[in-house]
Amino acid sequence: MDAITRPLESLGRATLKSLAGTGHAAMLLVESIGFALTGWRRGQPVRVPSVFEQMRQIGVDALPITALLALVIGIMLGIQFVAALSEFGAQSQVVIAVAKSVTREFGALITAILVAGRSGSALAARIGSMNVSQEVDALAVIGIDPVRYLAAPALFAMLLMLPALTIFADAIAIFGAAVYSAPALNVTPGAYISQTLALLTPGDIGQGLAKSVVFAILISLIGISTGFSVSGGAEGVGRATTRSVVLSICYIIVADMIFSFFLNR
């Protein structure tokens, strides 16, 4: 009997736990939006300077590494497309292939994975260690709602900065592809880039941006909610940090696939 009930029991427990986690994350989103809209009337305003501070940490500080990664991805795509398409004598299609795959797919995906590793984990670690050292309790008893003080600024900063970083990564990646493929295609890099701009539609960039908004919500909610649910000291903080990165990247990739499917039918 035990052989049947025990796996069922643990399945049930895991289901309940993941449902509770999703519910918690959804509640964080709703509460954050609530604080942004009506917080100032309830004595719980979301402070603009702390949103700016988070924007600096999440966005501006990530510019160099984003630029480096995007450049490398652009060069890599250039190499692959030049090699693959020249087999069919279709070198002229390299420009459009790079332009579409960067703006629709790689720009948003690479930026999101990078930010999940950089800022999603930092959010989980910061809120988790504050939770462990009773700083979250201290905020609550002072009368400062921890969601409005810790979660909302990070969420809104992420929502603003991830799309911005995505546009930036798109541009750098296309530049990287131009630097590699222009000589191979016998055009100047300038001509390559102006051809790219002529071929791209607003829809291509919009697709990447729409994804990045969804990724921003996923990264921040997963980071914040794992941070708030930390228990068990320093080890718990470490586990939450790892968990937030792994979960964020999994959700990002799955969401990306679903998005691509529906947007390209």
For binding to other proteins (CB under 8 A), which residues are involved? 42-43, 130, 133-135, 137-144, 149
Contact 101, 77 (CB under 8 A): yes
Q: Which pair of structure tokens corresponds to residue 109? A: 């995906």
Residue nearer to other proteins on the CB measure, 142 or 261: 142
Query: Would you say 215 and 255 are in contact if contact means Cβ atoms under 8 Å apart?
Result: yes
Of the pair 3, 142, the CB lying nearest other proteins is at 142
CB of 143 to other proteins, least distance (A): 4
- Per DSSP, 61 falls in state G
Q: Write down the least CB distance from residue 125 to other proteins, Å.
A: 12
Nearer to other proteins, 61 or 135 (CB): 135
| Token duo for residue 241 | 């940090």
Q: Please, which residue, 102 or 130, has the CB nearer to other proteins?
A: 130
Report the residue number, 137 or 235, with the smaller CB distance to other proteins.
137
Check the CA dihedral 159-213-131-142 and report its sign.
positive
Q: Which residue has the tokens 């629709």?
A: 104
Of 133, 136, 117, 155, the closest CA to residue 228 belongs to 136
Q: Shortest distance, CB of residue 42 to other proteins, whole angstroms?
A: 7
The minimum distance between CB 66 and other proteins, in angstroms, equals 25
Provide the minimum distance between the beta carbon of 105 and other proteins in the complex, in angstroms, as a whole number. Answer: 37
Residues in the chain: 265
